[in-house]
Chains A and B, each alone.
Chain A
Amino acid sequence: MSVPIKKFSGKGISVRGNDIDTDRIIPARFMKCVTFKGLGVYAFNDERVDGNGKSKGHSFDDPEYQGNPILIGNANFGCGSSREHAPQALKDWGIRALLCESFAEIFAGNCSSLGMPAVTLSKSDIEQLQSFVENEPKMEISINLETMKVTAGSREWTASMPEAYRNALLDGSWDSTAVLSQAYTEIDRVAGELPYI
């Protein structure tokens, strides 16, 4: 079993924009690798630097936000390709949890299997949080998966996430292989009853 994740606290980093797809999170040309190690330096690569290697001023390059582990984003974050390279690159960069208006489905599942809470808040709450973080990079944000509350300073917001992902994080079954492996007898039974090979 993996480690239960009930609470997480850390500083935030704002990444603004709806429909940020996984090609933007990690362009395909950086996926020529056989391990996920070291992908963090390529996270948001083409959003960070232009063709001449000049910085575009992305928050991932802002010295104030280096190592801040809570990404705050907008709607449909992580849409597109199923590449786990995307959450792996974010994780390798230092992200440990995401707060967004909404997530694409495969991406949310990928985050969950890496033990990274992908939590949703309302549009106005996300905007507030993004503004807070942009004004105060050092502000500590707490995510409580038991109460589904997000707090920063004296402010508190109500969050949500699919119950199954939440349960898996709370009881430490998010690293799914161990849980799935407990049912070999039933797996073989289902396989044996299928009308195709």
Chain B
Amino acid sequence: MAGKNLFEKVWKRHKVRTLPSGQDQLFIGLHLIHEVTSPQAFGMLKDKNLTVRYPSRTFATADHIIPTDDISRPLADPLAEEMLKALETSTQEYGIQYFGPESGKQGVIHVVGPEKGLTQPGMTIACGDSHTATHGAFGSIAFGVGTSQVRDILATQTMAISKPKVRRITVNGTMPEGVGAKDLILAIIGRLGVNGGLGYAYEYAGEAIDALGMEERMTLCNMSIEGGARAGYVNPDQITYDWLKGRPYVKDYDSMIRYAEEIKSDSDAFFDDEVVFNASDLKPMVTWGINPGQVVAVDEKFPVVESLPEEERETALRAYEYMGFAENEKILGKKIDVVFIGSCTNGRLTDLREAAAVARGQKVAGNVTALVVPGSQEVAVAAEKEGLDKIFKEAGFQWRLAGCSMCLAMNPDKLQGRQISASTSNRNFIGRQGSPTGRTLLVSPAMAAAAALAGEIVDIRKTGAAS
């Protein structure tokens, strides 16, 4: 009989029962909340006369609406202020730990959870945010949920969910210089499609994955949802344990490791599906369209619509129309107006180091506005300690305060009109970065920094400084 994979083992430990509908009732070990998708859930609790069952298992921060230039209160935007107040009131009322802007611990929820050591191997984690899959980097199973589930988790610490199948994505070989986790996940989504992961959780495995640091594993797992998979994870190993050691919420390091070793996928584990990639084939990737699956390698041309699978053609036509691009054009040399470096995908210290290595001693092109937004206040402090802020500022980048910022532009950081951005975020959807006609090219931090200097998309493998 085949062995079990991590997903199977963790699910079993957290399953409360099978519900009459056929779904499972799953216990959520760690619940993360932010200001956008939780206030309605607290409202629903009140309507139903319920309370928070396990307040010590929920943690909150504010990220989506936080301005990155001035966070003095009240916030300039009264709606944003109201949302922030609602979160402060609710967390206080129910005794939930809240990392607010004044705490020095605030940031993007998917950056804050891991850096506090809240995220640990073998947990079930949920958050009202689709990029919750990020936490899978630690060998936890982590889902994005809607507000009704946030309500359920607050009220019962459980949610109703059908167990997905598990696909193992094995990445063999070594990644070439200038290519990182962001390029890998974009290549995976490009090949399997934006809904290729529907009904699956992804296990990322193989030599190239084992070699990734924790931040890169987070980048990889983070974008699982962009490929349709609700969760993605990497088996925990020594790299995981070393990264977590000494973090505030890692109370018992040895028992954490014991449990992690227990829930790792068995060497003969069963998977519902397997896909293999070769890391040495990878190149820096850039999206050209309106979903993350519309992506090419930096030295490729945009696809001919007729050559695409039939089900992708209509979206491709829409993408060309929206982006103002044409078949067979090169991505190399595409002019950009804005660069955004940050987000739950690429707003961590190693991402900022990668971008700073490119920016060091250089200048941002005259027509480009370039923003660096640290993923959390702690990332900002660590980066400043290394002098990264100086490197960026001297090169003409704006060094901002922590938050989600222009990834989804719920705060004042927005594209204007038809501007094109080279962005380290996760979505190039129509209007995503705050202008209904704005355009987004998704890239790695190194590629974004290089684009800022050149004012256009360049190949980081040729311009150098990829560290």
A contacts, CB < 8 Å to B: 17-19, 21, 23-24, 27-29, 31-36, 46, 50-51, 75-76, 79-85, 87-88, 102, 104-106, 109-110, 113-114, 162-165, 167-168, 171, 173, 175-177, 179-181, 183-184, 186-187, 190-191, 193-197
Number of A-B contacts (CB under 8 A): 219
On chain A, the residues within 8 Å of B77 by CB distance are 32
Interface size class of B (residues with CB under 8 A): 35 or more
Contact A167 B20 (CB under 8 A): yes
Contact A82 B37 (CB under 8 A): yes
On chain A, the residues within 8 Å of B19 by CB distance are 164, 173, 179-180
Contact B83 A28 (CB under 8 A): no
Contact A104 B198 (CB under 8 A): yes
Question: 20 new A-B pairs (CB below 8 Å) besides A18-B312, A51-B417, A196-B255?
Answer: A18-B315, A19-B194, A21-B291, A28-B432, A29-B434, A32-B83, A36-B40, A46-B431, A51-B436, A75-B195, A76-B228, A82-B132, A82-B146, A113-B146, A171-B20, A181-B156, A184-B53, A187-B16, A194-B14, A196-B259
On chain B, the residues within 8 Å of A104 by CB distance are 195, 198, 228
Q: Report B330 CB to chain A, min CB distance, Å.
A: 25
Contact A105 B198 (CB under 8 A): yes
Q: Report A156 CB to chain B, min CB distance, Å.
A: 25
Determine the residue in chain B with the shortest Cβ distance to A109: B146
On chain A, the residues within 8 Å of B22 by CB distance are 163-164, 167
On chain B, the residues within 8 Å of A36 by CB distance are 40, 147
Comparing B120-128, B357-365, B381-389, the segment that makes contact with chain A is: B120-128
Determine the residue in chain B with the shortest Cβ distance to A83: B37
Question: Quick check: is B318 within 8 A (CB to CB) of the other chain?
Answer: yes
Decide yes or no: A18 and B198 within 8 Å by CB, A24-B429, A46-B430, A194-B29 being known contacts.
Answer: no
Contact B315 A191 (CB under 8 A): no
5 residue pairs of the A-B complex, CB under 8 angstroms, read A46-B436, A85-B147, A87-B146, A183-B17, A183-B156
Q: Report A194 CB to chain B, min CB distance, Å.
A: 6
Q: Report A105 CB to chain B, min CB distance, Å.
A: 5
Q: Report which of A24, A110, A163, A183 forms a contact with B25, defined as CB distance below 8 A.
A: A183
Comparing B157-165, B166-174, B266-274, B441-449, the segment that makes contact with chain A is: B157-165
- Alpha-carbon gap, A23 to B318, bound state (A): 16
- Alpha-carbon gap, A17 to B430, bound state (A): 13
Q: Report A150 CB to chain B, min CB distance, Å.
A: 22
B contacts, CB < 8 Å to A: 13-17, 19-23, 25, 27, 29, 36-37, 39-40, 43-44, 48, 50, 53-54, 56, 64-65, 77, 79-80, 82-83, 86, 120, 122-123, 128-130, 132, 144-149, 151-152, 155-162, 194-195, 198-199, 225, 228, 230, 251, 255-256, 258-259, 290-291, 311-312, 314-315, 318, 408-410, 417, 427, 429-432, 434, 436-437
Contact B157 A105 (CB under 8 A): no
Contact A176 B148 (CB under 8 A): yes
Contact B16 A164 (CB under 8 A): no
Contact B430 A113 (CB under 8 A): no
Contact B436 A84 (CB under 8 A): no
Decide yes or no: A18 and B25 within 8 Å by CB, A106-B130, A173-B20 being known contacts.
Answer: no
Contact B431 A84 (CB under 8 A): no
On chain B, the residues within 8 Å of A109 by CB distance are 145-146, 149, 161
On chain A, the residues within 8 Å of B25 by CB distance are 180, 183, 187
Q: Report which of B50, B314, B318, B427 forms a contact with A80, defined as CB distance below 8 A.
A: B427
Contact A114 B199 (CB under 8 A): no
Contact A173 B148 (CB under 8 A): no
Contact B315 A180 (CB under 8 A): no
Q: Report B70 CB to chain A, min CB distance, Å.
A: 17
Q: Report B201 CB to chain A, min CB distance, Å.
A: 11
On chain B, the residues within 8 Å of A102 by CB distance are 195, 198
On chain A, the residues within 8 Å of B259 by CB distance are 195-196
Contact B20 A17 (CB under 8 A): no
On chain B, the residues within 8 Å of A35 by CB distance are 39-40, 43
Q: Report A20 CB to chain B, min CB distance, Å.
A: 10
Decide yes or no: A173 and B409 within 8 Å by CB, A82-B145, A162-B162 being known contacts.
Answer: no
On chain A, the residues within 8 Å of B29 by CB distance are 194, 196
Contact A81 B130 (CB under 8 A): yes
Contact B315 A82 (CB under 8 A): no
Q: Report A190 CB to chain B, min CB distance, Å.
A: 5
On chain A, the residues within 8 Å of B290 by CB distance are 19
Contact A82 B255 (CB under 8 A): no
Q: Report A23 CB to chain B, min CB distance, Å.
A: 4
Contact B436 A27 (CB under 8 A): yes
Determine the residue in chain A with the shortest Cβ distance to B156: A180
Contact A168 B21 (CB under 8 A): yes
